[in-house]
Structure 1
């Protein structure tokens, strides 16, 4: 995704690992940003455990206004009313989307990832076949210590070469 995320999809219930990742991300944001806002540290925490969603992908169906002290959020379907309440109470509005639509977007993204991984496996197989094993493509890529096969293997393992 090249666009800046406008939201994050976080499935519940949270695991202990996710709670720990949230805490770590907030602490890291605090250190990196010097004197961050509460909003920026929470955004960092949510991005650490959720799936970013960029603008225009999901229709906003409401707005959430979260209270201080852990109270229940107020939900609005009228944006103007939500903005007035947010301004009155000095709170930040958060767009609300349908979970089913978010899950459909995530499923589509996951399907694309599977398709691309399969293409990498096929490309690796073609490159390392008996016909191409000694070709320049298979022996030199970005530098003397890295071949195209190394690059593909790193991508398939989830890292970058």
Structure 2
């Protein structure tokens, strides 16, 4: 996978801070979009087959497939590439968000007070906030 972003996943609704970054006339629009969302660098999927619907046909048919990717008895569900890429982007964004919450908890543990109970409570708060999607 490439490190160059091919898209940006932005969770809605936008916060006032995100709106400010997006609407500020600083940098390019692409840079502003990346600043409010999670850059998506992946999304490349192995093509297992192609479905085609020719004008003269009553319904679509399997136009091509890669036999090496299947074994006898396989039943493979099919989805469109844009739908699969959107799902991958959403999962990548979720991983980034959860890592951020764990980093906050880790920093709280390292830089915490002398009171271990208060440190644990602060870590728990950061982890719960990450798991709730920031809605804590």
TM-score (normalised: structure 1): 0.36
TM-score (normalised: structure 2): 0.41
